[in-house]
Amino acid sequence: MSSSILSIRSSSIEDVPLILEFIKSLALYEKLSHKVVATEDKLRETLFGKTPAAHVIIGEINGKAEGFALYFYSYSTFLGQKGLYLEDLYVNKQTRGHGLGKALIFHLAQKAYTEGCGRMDWSVLDWNTASIEFYESLGANAQSEWIGYRLDHSALKIISEK
């Protein structure tokens, strides 16, 4: 694949089945398939509805979709400006190592920079050494001083009923 042509494009509503396929493949890789409850209908509504909650770019090699990145905008009160948060990055196993992951990250970094974002953030599972090494090779810094917290749907329900 040395003469491969890499391209990045914005997703469209017609990509919803592909996006769900990538999400399921990512969950399988991360050993979290049991957590996927997303459906095509939910993705259509939340990604392409009246108020999109996130955006997706599709990475292609020689015109074939081989990966994706899902991102949304955040805000830093310390910086006083928006940021870009990369929620998911995935490249099909058989095409890893050909630069598509790097192309997706670079595309989003350029987007963040040109849109005036103060930073770009993401998280990685602590056991995923291949991804950690990849991100660090790009110059990314681990944010070990922060501990992530989450209220899942059931916890939100409990709190909302108090």
The span from the CA of 155 to the CA of 138, in Å, is 36
Give the tens place of pLDDT for each residue, 79-100: 999 999 999 999 999 999 999 9
Q: Facing residues of 64 across strands?
A: 61
Domain carrying residue 56? 6-160
- How many domains does the chain contain in total? 1
Highest-confidence range of 20-24, 134-138, 151-155, by mean pLDDT? 20-24
Give the tens place of pLDDT for each residue, 27-77: 999 999 999 999 999 999 999 999 999 999 999 999 999 999 999 999 999
Q: Which amino acid is at 22?
A: F
Residue 144 belongs to some domain of the structure: yes
Q: Give the residue numbers annotated as catalytic, written as ranges.
A: 135
Residue 20 belongs to some domain of the structure: yes
State yes or no: pLDDT of 10 exceeds 70: yes
Considering only CA atoms, which of 66, 53, 61, 63 is closest in space to residue 25?
A: 66
**Sign (positive/negative) of CA torsion 19, 24, 27, 28?**
negative
Give the CATH number for residue 96: 3.40.630.30
**3-state secondary structure (DSSP) of residue 13:** helix
Residue 80 belongs to some domain of the structure: yes
Residue 12 belongs to some domain of the structure: yes
Contact 21, 36 (CB under 8 A): no
Task: Please identify which residue in the block is written with the tokens 């997703």.
Answer: 11
Task: Please identify which residue in the block is written with the tokens 């993705």.
Answer: 43
Residue 1 belongs to some domain of the structure: no
Task: Please give the model's pTM, rounded to 2 decimal places.
Answer: 0.93
State yes or no: pLDDT of 2 exceeds 70: no
Please tell me the predicted confidence (pLDDT) of residue 148. 86
Judging by beta carbons within 10 Å of its beta carbon (0-12, 13-18, 19+), is residue 66 exposed, middle or buried?
Answer: buried
Please spell the DSSP secondary structure of 55-73, one letter per residue: EEEEEEETTEEEEEEEEEE
Residue 94 belongs to some domain of the structure: yes
Please tell me the predicted confidence (pLDDT) of residue 3. 76
Give the tens place of pLDDT for each residue, 125-144: 999 999 999 999 999 999 98
State yes or no: pLDDT of 1 exceeds 50: no
